[in-house]
Structure 1
Amino acid sequence: MTRPTSIPDALHRAAVYIGRHGWTRDHRLYDSHDGCQRNCPVHRTGMFPASILGAVRCALVGRPKWFLTSTPPGTAEAYAATLDHLNYHLSSYGAAGLRAPVVPWSQAPRRTPAEVVAALRAAASTAPRRPFAGPARLAPVVPLRPRTSRSDRPSAGLFDLPHPA
């Protein structure tokens, strides 16, 4: 399977993932899958029911992934760009009768997997078709000296003022 190359592609694949493997309204990435006797589709395939955030990760990586530190270069930037557009779409246009960012929208009472899939597809239709940009160039990290004692703090700080009598 090839990686998605654009925001619409990633959102379509996230919709397919939820349609195929299930959705969880939980704020975590994937369903905790407690109480199973290891004889279920999750254990056979390794594909957990996912929240919207988890489904986008699966779309970009190809499988459930809790951390993006060990993914190909550009994955974290693609994830951020996709979620940025999804937040914009759900906040501006709304879906299923609610305008809100991704997490509050998905945790609304009586939200259904079909509404989630439809919202992902609608957001894909409003996304720019240009390919993901390469890894962002970040500013260099400025090394800071760690504080080791109280004498390292500024002398006239907010918390150093005397208490009123």
Structure 2
Amino acid sequence: MARPATIGQTLTHAAAYIERHGWTRDHRLYDAHDNCQRNCPVHRSGMYPASIIGAIRAALVGRPKWFMTSTPPGMTEAYAATLDHLNHHLTSYGAARMRAPVIPWSHAPGRTPAQVTTALRAAATTAPRAPFTGPAGLAPVVPLQSRTSRSDRPSAGLFNLPDTA
């Protein structure tokens, strides 16, 4: 399967990933499948059942991906644009009689893999047709500076509370 070039293709590939490898409503990206002897098809292939977010990552990268820091240029922007569109679709149009952002929607009681793949494919139909790169382009993801010590914290917080950490 070729790497997706648009948001719609990414969502369609994510639905196909879930149909082929399974879906997990767990709060993790992928079902670690820890209760087996590591000699099952999941461990041999490295293709774990995925949450919606994990399936989108796998669709973009071609395999399960826990961290997006080591992906090719533009991949993080494509991932962010795809999630942004899916959130917009699920909150504007809804799916399976519910309007909510991705995480609450996917964790709703009674949610099924069929509803998830149907929602992904429906969101693909409302996605922009522009490729991830090109004239339309994507907004860059702004890297945030990581905190390493207490000295880089602001002296007064938003509500001027004392620093107790």
Q: Same fold judged by TM-score > 0.5?
A: yes
Q: Which residue of 2 aligns with 1:163?
A: none
Q: CA deviation at 1:61?
A: 0.1
Residue by residue over 1:80-122, the C-alpha shift from the partner in whole angstroms, topping out at 9 and shown as x without a partner, is 0000000000001000010000000000001000000000000
- RMSD of aligned Cα (Å): 2.6
Q: Which residue of 1 aligns with 2:4?
A: 4
TM-score, length basis structure 2: 0.83
Amino acid at match of 1:16: A
Q: Which residue of 2 aligns with 1:130?
A: 130
Residues 153, 10 of structure 1: CA spacing in aligned structure 2 closer, same or farther, 3 A cutoff?
Answer: closer
Amino acid at match of 1:53: I
User: 5+ residue gaps in structure 1?
Assistant: 161-165
Task: Report how many aligned residue pairs link the two structures.
Answer: 153
Q: Alignment identity in percent?
A: 68
TM-score, length basis structure 1: 0.83
User: 5+ residue gaps in structure 2?
Assistant: none
Aligned 8 A contact 1:73 1:135 in 2:
no
Residues 90, 36 of structure 1: CA spacing in aligned structure 2 closer, same or farther, 3 A cutoff?
Answer: same
Q: Tell me the distance in 1 between the aligned counterparts of 2:89 and 2:129.
A: 15
Q: Tell me the distance in 1 between the aligned counterparts of 2:113 and 2:142.
A: 40
Q: CA deviation at 1:63?
A: 0.3
Equivalent position SS for 1:58: helix
Residues 110, 13 of structure 1: CA spacing in aligned structure 2 closer, same or farther, 3 A cutoff?
Answer: same
Q: Which residue of 2 aligns with 1:59?
A: 59
